[in-house]
Amino acid sequence: MALSKEKLNFQSVIEIVESLSDNEQEHLIQIINYRLKQKEKEELLRAVKDSREAFIKREVKSGTVADLMADLEEE
């Protein structure tokens, strides 16, 4: 079943999923959940990497909550 992305909308996807067997739907859910978790993991790793690079370049400041609040009030 070859469908182009342009012709595929959300309702069409729902209808296609509903046409699957219960077992196939459960397997699809597992695959989607796995891919979402992988995506979240990649985003977190990217954020950690960016934070470490910013720290190494001294683009970040450290301090107390009071320091942060004072900096925010200055802006």
| Residue 62 forms part of a structural domain | yes
Nearest-angstrom CA–CA distance, 4 and 14: 16
14 within domain boundaries = no
Domain ranges, residue 51: 32-75
Give the pLDDT of residue 4.
62
- Percentage helix, strand, coil for the chain under 3-state DSSP, each rounded to 5: 75, 0, 25
Residue 25 lies in a domain: no
Structural domains counted in the chain? 1
Question: Which pTM was predicted?
Answer: 0.65
The tens digit of pLDDT for each residue in 5-45 reads: 667 899 999 999 999 999 999 999 999 999 999 999 999 99
2 domain-assigned = no
